Every structure is written in structure tokens, then in C-alpha cells.
Structure 1
């Protein structure tokens, strides 16, 4: 094989690895910073700046040291730096989370991913120098090298998004990138220079990479969260929508205390009591309460966002009659979930019965916009939106256009209930105020929902679960009462259930507190700024996650 051919192969693989590292960076930073707009902005910024500096440095080095030995030494160094990310990730992330989300993400991405991307940026100009020296046709050489490198970037992007990240752990993917760079260096020094020492060094790095990948594919992590609480991971999956973990918490002091958590990139999506098979969180009870109390006729229900499956599993037995046809009941209870892994995990670990519902795997906005109301597709009496992922705000589901689509498929007199994470008071309440205004905004016609209410347990500036109810009329609460409707499982003598009962009793209409919030915009598809409005809430969420779960997130 000629050296120029090997340089083309090298540029293909380095172009691919650059894109894999950029995409992988969002996953590695997710436990402390999430995967929102600011994290993507930080990774893209660091990638572009690092490559730009690498291009300039690579050209300078190529003019002074036009030898391939140095080029493949830089490639080998990039592989070593990728492995060092595994050692530095934990302390750097825990350091960076102390700053605000934007600057913390940018600083963390710079420290972890800047150095290897900088070295990878030197490859293209260095290759141009070496190839041009052999052929002398600079234009053709540059065009060919950049085409091959860009083709590699295309393959790396597709491979990372559709193959590696959904099917391999983050550590394994990073190790494969480091190993590929070590192999390139070893092949060069072995076949073109016949030098033993560099080949041995590359072989050692490759061996370390294989060992790390083997260890990461072993037993799921477990440990001690505090001196009294032990945890163990029951299942962990990498997917298109983050890393999903099922974690059990228990304490040797009280064997009866046992909680199971569903986490997505470190964010709690649901907590569960396996022994009694009931949710240990308040939000499912609150959403069921709002729907049952304010929808005058409740037969067809649409739930956007499955999570652990608590809301549909709790609500269905409360509205279905014993003599109902199971097929008809299943058709009347539709759940739309974008992540197919959630259905299996909810069934396996949280006792969710998927066979009793119509499950649709699709983006909620896409499904709603294509649903056509007619004789074979009646409107829904209630719609529950539970798609918030803590600090990952689904902006396209919170616009005036989306709410108009929801109203279109909602039956007259029906109710729309939403579970939102935010604050009621202070500057952090801008997102909630914007949602209230957007839900009631006329936009050239009558208001979408004439009556919008905000319920929460507390009226504080601290971020917590807040519930929005939008309807055509206020309606009267059903006389049978929340405790008999929504919490039939709870034993009045069990102190643990007092938490749920008191939480439900403490729900208050807090709508008036948001009336005077300044600068609350109407959210539209053209102005979808939900990510920006709740940036302070996102920062608080991430700090609390690190404080609560500790380094368990980074295992």
C-alpha cells in the first residue's frame, strides 16, 4: 500500500471520529448538564474552535516538519487523550456543574474534548502537505482529501446516531474511537517505518482500550448513596433519547423501605413502591385528580408521554366499567411515547400492562397533527401531556400551534392537563407564565382555552412539579372527592401514605400568582424559546441531581 492511499484512509477515519466524539460529548455531559440547547451549543463551539486551531497548527507543523512520523504521533496522542477523558470526566463534570449552565457546559466541554479535537484537526492540513509533495497537484489533492474526510464525517455521524450510541455504552464508544486511532498509528509505524517502539506503544493503548471496554460491559453498577441508603442498577440502556436507568434504593435499617426509580440521563421520571405496586411520587395522583374532577364526561383519553406508565395505569381502572369490552377500552385509551424502550422498561420494572392500551411510538406533535377526527376516530374527552424531561424542555410541544392541534382533537367540554417542572414565584416563573398566556391567547380568534388554571403544592420560587389545566369552562369538581377517586390503594393507617394524602390536599390554584409576571411571551413555532425561559430552573435541577444522587450518576 502506498503512503498516499493510507493517508486517504486516515482522513476518512479521523473525519468519522471527530463527529462521533462531538455527538458522544453530549451523552458524557448529560448527567450534570442535560442534553439541551446549551450543551449542544457548547459542544459545537468547542469542536469548531478546536478544529480551527488544529488546522492552523497542523499547517504550521507540516511546513516545518514535513514527515508522516509526526502526523501519526499526533494521531496516537489524540487516542491517548480520548482515553484520558474517562479519568477526567468525573472531577471535571462535578467542578463544572458549580457554574451556570451555559458557562459550565462550555468550560467542561473545552477541558474534556478540546485537546483531542485539536490534535485531530491537525490531520487534514498535514495530509495536504504530504500528498502535495508527492503529486504536486495541490487543487486535486485538497479536494480529494476534504471529500474523503467529509465522507468519513458523514459515516461517523450516521454511525454514532443510529448504531453506536443506541447500542453501545458511552464508554465503549469512546474506547472504540481511541482504539481506532491507536490502530492507525500502529499500522503506519509497522508497515511504513518498521519501528518496534511506536508499534508497542500503540499496542499497549489498544490493549488498555479493549480492557476498559470489557470492564464497562460487565455487571451493572451498585453502591452506597449515603450511609443508610444502598442502591443498585437493575437495567441500563443507551438509546436515541438518552441513557435510561432503573435503580433500586433500599436501606438495611428498614427492610420494608424500598423504592425503584426510573432515570433518564440522571433525571427522575418516576418513583415506585414495588411491594405495594403504587407510585411513590405525587404527580400521577395530581394529573388523575385534575382530569377526573374537571372532565364532565370521561371515556376517551389521550396520554402524551408514557414514562414509567403510572398515569395511564392508574387512570384506566377508575374510568373503565367492569362490563366494558376490553378491545373497546383499549381503543379508547391511547398513549403516545417517542421512546420505544420506555414501553418495555415500564412493563418489566413498573408493572405497566401495555396490552391494555393503544400504544403509539411516535413524536407527540407528529401524531397529534396527523390525527383526523371523524366517525372512526372520535375526539378525546381528556388529554394529559406528561412529556417534560426535567431540564429538557420539549419546545415544539409547548407552542400556540401545538395547543391549537390539541384543542382540535379535544371533545367539547374536555380538559387538557399538563405536568410541568417550574417555579411559581420570581424570575424563574417566566416559562409557566408564558404557557398560561399561550394557552389562552386568541391569535386572531377566540381564546384557545378560555379557562387556564395552575395548580401546585407550594407557591415558592423553588422548582417543583406544577400542573396546568386548560378547559372550555371551569366546571365543578366531582363530589366524590379526590381521596376516594384517585387513591383507592392507600391504607389510611399507613404513615407512608399520609404523604400522598397531604400532598393531594395541599394542591392549590396558584394561577393568580402568574398574572403579573413581566415579559411572558406567547410561544409559537417561530418563537419557541421555552429552553431559554427556564434556564435558571434547569441549572437548579442539575445541581440538585448531583447533590441528591452524588457520583452514582457518573458510574
Structure 2
């Protein structure tokens, strides 16, 4: 029979299980909210999430190991209190440190900048939280025979805390209150629970500085959207949500001197208009999409994936088409009406994922447009052979599909758009492409139809007024598209089982985000705005 281990003077098991539950909840809160803090500057691409998840696992692993070492020390109650107090302190500092780290690494690449920002921002609190589980297991174990059962129960309770907090943060707290308030309330709950379970008068005194810093951080939240310098930039709207940060930013274009209004998702522009009731898009790609859409002038049904703030829907309305707009973020229509002068009441606005809508919608269309980047990220599951096959069933006779896609054109780089064209070709489409420039970051237009396309209808009189006036239109009419002829041997066929787009597109994502950082986000930082609430 095994000899019982000496039991330290600690609270009852129920209280210690409560600490385990809270530890799991705090770990997921730090990971989710820390990633959200980095998103306005570094985005939410696979690169950033790889950094966040990798640092999370590394920090917890180190914490578990160090916690095992600490569990052998004397005075486990004091050690547990100290670890939890330090964890609370590092969580309280996260909103302030995030701005410091973003500023320090703003000139670094997305790879290194996101990695070191995640390491310094998430690493300390996650390391400290990770040390608590081994300490709890040690002090709760009275005999060797029950150690496995206790460890399993404790990790299960901790995991349940993480699960519940994930749903609570994602579905309720972040959409309602932003990032900083939920994080600071988590820190407050951790501090109060730690004191309540491990209370002594001396520990209360040690906790007072952390509590005062917490109050200071709460007070600072009232000034989050007030610039510290000038008023060259204004932010009439900002919100956090499950699908990312949405922000409306106004400032004057430094070259044209036009007053511009931008809609940003995680710091990346989704819509840019001249800020007056005409709501003319300040982006060339919108006019390109509108010009190519005029090939279907006289036809009625258009399907738009990616509503944004309504610029493309406005263009289709001007062409006399009825628009079904599919948008994953339900906030978009309200923003379009309130801040981007969108007034069309005939547009059918559907909150849905593009792939799900394609599989479930029975209606057929004359024109289907994919303008679906979320921030800088293109959803790879839309550019597959299986998806293109499903889309074909949604087209009327002589129907067209039109894609807008960002591509970085540099030597010796495997390009993505040839693989999209090859995938379309393998599915029975006749694909065509247009490059706005042979070098640098490009808006690539891809047009496809099950039948060869007649470009004779591409005439100024069929275009909207603002598009027909563009100086590049005559040259475009002369040479509208290049037919795809399998020019590149290394082009791939994308499938659901081999979604290579994220990997191949990484360099373009990096270039697109860095260009947008220079144009908008750093401008906000210079003016003294905070990047998240």
C-alpha cells in the first residue's frame, strides 16, 4: 500500500478546481484577444495565426515544465498566489504593451514582426498560467494511486473553462465590448478569485499595485479613439466582431487632395470612396469590374460575393442589374447605408458564406462576381475545381463569372492566377485574364464562361458614366483580355483536397498588407489613434 504524501495547507479541492477552470478560461482569452490586438497591424493570415498558435503552445509547454519544478518547493500556497498575481499583472499590461510592440516591429516583415510581437505579448501571461496546473496537481494529490485521476479531472476542468470562454469571447464579449474591456475584466476576475481563495492580509497588500494599474487601464479606455496630435485623420466608426475589426477612417488623399473615406477590415482597405453623396470609388479595380460587367448590359440578374460597403453593388445597379449580394459579415449593410451613401433598396442582402450559398441557392444568374478578400486573405476554398463546378450550375446561358484577385508580379515567383485559370479550364470554362501592370502588386481580373466570350459588347455607351470617362478605357476596349492558353507548365489545378492557394499567395498577402500599413494604419498611429478598442 502506497504511503500518503503530506498534504499542504491549501484550500479545499473545489476551490482549487475553480482556479483550474479559471486558468483554462484565461489561456484562451489571452490567445484570442492577443491575436485580435495584432490583427489591425499584422492581419489574420495563416502567417499570423501560425505565430500566435506556435507561441501559445511554446509558452504553455515551458510553463508546464517550470510548474513541475516549482511544485516540489515549500509553501505551495505562496508560490501559487505569486504565479497567479504575476499572470494577472502581465494580462493587465497587454493593451499598453501591444501598441509598444507594434510600434517597435512596424518596420519588420509580417513573418518576424508578428512572431516577436506574439512572443512578447502572449508569452509571459501564457507561461505563467501554464505553471499553475502542475502546482495544483502536486498539492491536491494525497497518494500516488489517485494522481492520474486528479490530473485528468483538473485538465478536463481547465479545458472546459477554455471552451466556455472561447464561445463567450467570440460570440458575445468581443462584438459588444471590443478587446480591452473583456481582457481587463478577465484580469479583474482572476485577481479577485486568487485573493478570495488564497487570501491573507499580506497577499492583499501585494495585490494593491496590480489593482491600481488595472483601474488606470480601465480609465484609459475612455480616451481610446481620441487623437493625441492633429485631426487630419478621423474615425467615425470602429467595432470588433467574430469576423474581424471593422473601421471607417477619413482623411485627405495626399496626392489628389480628395476627401476619402475608407472601410478597413483588420487594417486592410475593403472600400475607398470620395467622401460625398456620389460615393464614387477611388479604387481602379472597382471601375475595372464595372467595365467588364458592362458586357452583360441588358441582362438582369447579378450575384455579388463580397458586398463590402456597396461600391460594386452601386456600379451594378447603375448598369440596370438586380443584385443579390452575399456577405459573411452582417455589419456591412448597416455601415454602407450609414457611412458610404448606399441607398439602393432593391439589393437582396444575404448573410452567408460564399461556398454555402453556392451549394444551397437555386436561382440562376447572368453575372457572378467574386470580390471576396477578407482583409488581405482570399478564401482558398472558393478557388477550387469543385467550387467552380458548382458555380457553373448557377449560370444562365452565356453567363459570366468575374474574379478580382491581388497578385505580386516579381521574377522567379510561382504566380497564383495561372493556377486559377487552369482550374477554370479543367472545369469546362473558357478563362481570360487581364493584368493591370506587368510588375509589382496587381489587381488581376479573371473572366470566364462555359462558352467563348464575345467582347464586341465592350463599348463606352454600355458603361456607367464614371467608368466610361476613365482615361484607360479606350486601350482596354482595344485589348480587353488575354485568353488563357496554358502558358505556364507549373500552373496547378486547385482542389478541395489540395488547397495550395494560401501557401502560394503568401508573398502577395505580405506585400498587400505592407502597402496598406503605409497608406492607412501608420497614418492612424502617427495621429495618435489606438488601433483597437
* Fold conserved between structures, TM > 0.5: yes
* 1:353 alignment partner, one of 323, 343, 347: 343
CA distance in structure 1 between the partners assigned to 2:474 and 2:244 by the alignment: 35
* 2:368 alignment partner, one of 370, 380, 383: 383
State the secondary structure of the residue aligned to 1:270.
strand
| Partner residue in 2 for 1:142 | 151
| Gap regions ≥5 residues in structure 2 | 1-9
What is the count of residue pairs matched by the alignment?
A: 513
Q: Is the 8 A contact 2:92 2:184 kept in 1?
A: yes
Q: Is the 8 A contact 1:428 1:537 kept in 2?
A: no
CA distance in structure 1 between the partners assigned to 2:53 and 2:148 by the alignment: 29
| Partner residue in 2 for 1:67 | 76
After superposition, residues 232-247 of structure 1 pair within 5 angstroms as 232-247=234-249
Q: Is the 8 A contact 1:459 1:510 kept in 2?
A: no
Change (3 A) 1:418 1:134: same
Q: Is the 8 A contact 1:399 1:525 kept in 2?
A: yes
CA distance in structure 2 between the partners assigned to 1:65 and 1:517 by the alignment: 68
Change (3 A) 1:428 1:132: same
Q: Is the 8 A contact 2:407 2:443 kept in 1?
A: yes
Change (3 A) 1:381 1:487: closer
Task: Point out which structure has higher relative CO (alpha carbons under 8 A, 6+ apart).
Answer: 2
Q: Is the 8 A contact 1:453 1:509 kept in 2?
A: no
CA distance in structure 2 between the partners assigned to 1:297 and 1:354 by the alignment: 19
Distance apart, 1:542 and its partner CA: 2.3
| Partner residue in 2 for 1:478 | 457
Q: Is the 8 A contact 1:303 1:385 kept in 2?
A: yes
Q: Is the 8 A contact 1:425 1:513 kept in 2?
A: no
| Partner residue in 1 for 2:3 | none
**Correspondence 1:552 to 2:524:** yes
After superposition, residues 102-251 of structure 1 pair within 5 angstroms as 102-133=111-142, 137-190=146-199, 193-195=200-202, 198-218=203-223, 220-222=225-227, 230-250=232-252
After superposition, residues 344-493 of structure 1 pair within 5 angstroms as 344-353=334-343, 355-372=345-362, 377=363, 379-428=364-413, 430-442=415-427, 447=428, 449-450=429-430, 452-460=431-439, 462-471=440-449, 472-478=451-457, 480-481=459-460, 484-489=461-466
CA distance in structure 2 between the partners assigned to 1:103 and 1:97 by the alignment: 10
**Correspondence 1:522 to 2:524:** no
| Gap regions ≥5 residues in structure 1 | 321-331, 493-499
Task: Summarize deviations over 1:471-523 as a string: whole Å, max 9, x none.
Answer: 22121232641xx5434258x9xxxxxxx712545656564799544532111
CA distance in structure 2 between the partners assigned to 1:247 and 1:253 by the alignment: 17
Q: Is the 8 A contact 2:303 2:325 kept in 1?
A: yes
Change (3 A) 1:514 1:220: farther
Q: Is the 8 A contact 1:284 1:311 kept in 2?
A: yes
CA distance in structure 1 between the partners assigned to 2:55 and 2:393 by the alignment: 43
| Partner residue in 1 for 2:293 | 291
Change (3 A) 1:422 1:90: same
| Partner residue in 2 for 1:533 | 504
Q: Is the 8 A contact 2:294 2:458 kept in 1?
A: no
CA distance in structure 1 between the partners assigned to 2:482 and 2:105 by the alignment: 36
Change (3 A) 1:234 1:292: same
* 1:502 alignment partner, one of 471, 479, 483: 471
Larger CA deviation: 266-275 vs 503-512: 503-512
Larger CA deviation: 203-212 vs 78-87: 203-212
Q: Is the 8 A contact 2:298 2:320 kept in 1?
A: no
Distance apart, 1:384 and its partner CA: 0.8
| Partner residue in 2 for 1:267 | 268
State the secondary structure of the residue aligned to 2:457.
coil
| Partner residue in 1 for 2:319 | 318
Distance apart, 1:10 and its partner CA: 0.9
Q: TM-score, normalised by structure 1?
A: 0.85
CA distance in structure 2 between the partners assigned to 1:512 and 1:382 by the alignment: 19
State the secondary structure of the residue aligned to 1:502.
coil
| Partner residue in 2 for 1:9 | 18
The RMSD of aligned alpha carbons is 2.8
Q: Is the 8 A contact 2:92 2:217 kept in 1?
A: no
Distance apart, 1:68 and its partner CA: 1.1
